[in-house]
Amino acid sequence: EPEVTQTPSHQVTQMGQEVILRCVPISNHLYFYWYRQILGQKVEFLVSFYNNEISEKSEIFDDQFSVERPDGSNFTLKIRSTKLEDSAMYFCASSEGQENTEAFFGQGTRLTVV
């Protein structure tokens, strides 16, 4: 069964460093998303991406964040200068864009900023 794949599963980084979280969405999907979940809290939307551009972003997605689809398969989230409060689980998701279809989530990347 096709699945969304995220790497790495866990990343530890020092405050101020740049991190890139990687995702391989399901191959025939057209819409891609990043969500984050701070430990013990609810899942929050960050950004959606379609046709090589951002279609929607939340207020969390400020200038330190960027997304890119560098090739036909990968979808990346870059955090330019990490802060302690960026520590969270980051989920990538993708959807077909058809009616009545769900978003499929990856297994998540746990980011720890120290």
Partner 1 sequence: AQKITQTQPGMFVQEKEAVTLDCTYDTSDPSYGLFWYKQPSSGEMIFLIYQGSYDQQNATEGRYSLNFQKARKSANLVISASQLGDSAMYFCAMREGAGSWGKLQFGAGTQVVVTP
The footprint of partner 1 (CB under 8 A) covers 30-31, 33, 35, 41-45, 48, 50, 55-56, 58, 89, 91, 93, 95-108, 110
The contacts of residue 10 (CB under 8 Å, 6+ apart) are: 109, 110, 112
Give least dist CB 69 to partner 1, A: 15
55/81 with CB nearer partner 1: 55
Determine if the peptide bond prior to 8 is cis (ω within 30°): yes
Residue 53's beta-bridge partner residues? Answer: 50
How many Å is the Cα radius of gyration of the chain? 13
Give least dist CB 38 to partner 1, A: 12
66/110 with CB nearer partner 1: 110
Q: Which residue has the tokens 């036909």?
A: 72
41/81 with CB nearer partner 1: 41
